[in-house]
Amino acid sequence: MALGLVTAGESHGPALVAIVTGLPAGLELAKEAIDADLRRRQQGYGRSPRQQLESDEVEVLAGLRRGRTLGTPLALVVRNRDHANWTWGMSPWQTDDEPTGKGAKAVSLPRPGHADLAGVLKYGHGDVRDALERASARHTAVHVAAGSVAKTLLRELGIDVAGRAVEIGGETSDDGMREATDAARKDRDTLGGVVEVVATGVPPGFGSYAEKGDRLDARLAFALMGIQAVKGVEVGDGFALARRRGTEAHDEIDPGLHRRTNRAGGLEAGVSNGEPIVVRAAMKPLPTLMRPLDSVDLASGEAAQALVERSDVQAVEALAVVAESAVAFELARAALEKLGGDSLDDVRAAHRQYLERISAQWQPR
Ligand SMILES: Cc1cc2nc3c(=O)[nH]c(=O)nc-3n(C[C@H](O)[C@H](O)[C@H](O)COP(=O)(O)O)c2cc1C
């Protein structure tokens, strides 16, 4: 069975939920490792006070016994602690209580750049909140929990995946990124940036050129583009390759079948080539602005300013963690396609056997 993921949960609802299917039995998971990734997602210089308010923690409801996967669906839950302030506004059930607390008043001021306007038109919602609660990136928390599980599986195969912010507000040095964030905060504005995810230890042969949906480059691009606010994806040198000549664009093959350069980002013809996999994602500036843009009040039809709600100045470091998780999950899926089995021992044995078969020509560096 292919590795699968389905999630549910609203930003201020009771909890976020993920169900991961297709994991082999016998994979040892540690709550601390998943919680550490959840904390990494919440950190970052440009985050809002909500991140201090809520310290995310994973709960497991199914698929795990004494810390080992059972080979059955794994159910992960991350509670929204902030839900305590939204119990009326985000109650799943209609109740007779008087409206109180956050979310009690309908939102009618769509933010340019967010799901608000498209969401209410598409679903016929009368309250913009009905759209924004799910569109919000809050539920990336359970994606990170699922990605953490995927990273644990990949580590069993010697594969490491790491994401980092490489550019924020046009700045590439740590100091510059911080200064740009401070300046945007002072101006009550927001920033975007670029994150890079590198996967090492991936052997040649993950993914396939047989069909476009099999291509690992396409699948990684899909996984990254599926994250909120991502507007561009690059594999290897990506767009820069378009401006080079062929003699400066490809990676020459050395004896030992390794490459002198890695302009392809470890992927040729949608298949891993044994070099580190390198992908980048561009994030647009966050659409919730403390200095709101022009919009329309949907209740009156009059010109108005967009909704102002507690929000980050930039979330590029958080995106780096979310992107790392997305890449890890897709690589774990590709790993299990190539080496899959019902138990981790089966997967390990298939991995050993595959490396053994290609070892006459290719060996890890
Ligand atoms: C980790 C992360 C955190 C985000 N935080 C915010 C935020 O605080 N405020 C905001 O307006 N948008 C935030 N976003 C972006 C919005 O969720 C996103 O722009 C919106 O859902 C519209 O989708 P689109 O940008 O893909 O078109 C965040 C995105 C990510 C990945």
Cα gap 250→252, rounded to integer Å:
6
Nearest protein CA to atom 9 of ligand 1, as residue:
311
Cα gap 23→225, rounded to integer Å:
24
Whether the model clears a pTM of 0.75, i.e. scores above it, the answer is yes
Output the pLDDT for position 53. Answer: 62
Ligand 1 pocket, 132 CB below 6 A?
no
Q: In testing the pocket of ligand 1, which one of 136, 231, 290 has its CB within 8 Å of the most ligand atoms?
A: 136
Nearest protein CA to atom 20 of ligand 1, as residue:
114
Cα gap 117→305, rounded to integer Å:
13
Taking the centre of ligand 1 as the mean of its atom positions, its distance from the CA of residue 11, in whole angstroms, is 12
Output the pLDDT for position 46. Answer: 79
Cα gap 151→172, rounded to integer Å:
27
Q: What pLDDT digit, counting tens, does each position of 272-305 carry?
A: 999 999 999 999 999 999 999 999 999 999 999 9
Q: What pLDDT digit, counting tens, does each position of 62-115 carry?
A: 999 999 999 999 999 999 999 999 999 999 999 999 999 999 999 999 999 999
Nearest protein CA to atom 28 of ligand 1, as residue:
137
Ligand 1 pocket, 190 CB below 6 A?
no
Nearest protein CA to atom 12 of ligand 1, as residue:
286
Ligand 1 pocket, 229 CB below 6 A?
yes
The beta-strand segments (E) located in 225-332 are 230-235, 267-268, 271-272, 277-283, 294-296, 303-305
- Contact between 63 and 73 under an 8 Å Cβ cutoff? The reply is yes
Helix (H, G, I), strand (E, B) or coil at 39: helix
Cα gap 106→121, rounded to integer Å:
15
Ligand 1 pocket, 313 CB below 6 A?
no
Q: Quick count: other Cβ atoms within 10 Å of Cβ 192?
A: 20
The beta-strand segments (E) located in 227-349 are 230-235, 267-268, 271-272, 277-283, 294-296, 303-305
- Ligand 1 atom closest to Cα of residue 115: 22
Taking the centre of ligand 1 as the mean of its atom positions, its distance from the CA of residue 118, in whole angstroms, is 15
Taking the centre of ligand 1 as the mean of its atom positions, its distance from the CA of residue 339, in whole angstroms, is 35
Ligand 1 pocket, 320 CB below 6 A?
no
Ligand 1 pocket, 287 CB below 6 A?
yes
Ligand 1 pocket, 40 CB below 6 A?
no
Nearest protein CA to atom 15 of ligand 1, as residue:
229
* Alpha helix (H) residue ranges in 95-201: 116-123, 129-135, 140-156, 174-186
Cα gap 278→197, rounded to integer Å:
6
Taking the centre of ligand 1 as the mean of its atom positions, its distance from the CA of residue 208, in whole angstroms, is 32
Output the pLDDT for position 54. Answer: 67
* pLDDT, averaged across the chain: 96
Cα gap 97→99, rounded to integer Å:
6
Residues of the chain with pLDDT under 70: 49-54
Nearest protein CA to atom 11 of ligand 1, as residue:
288
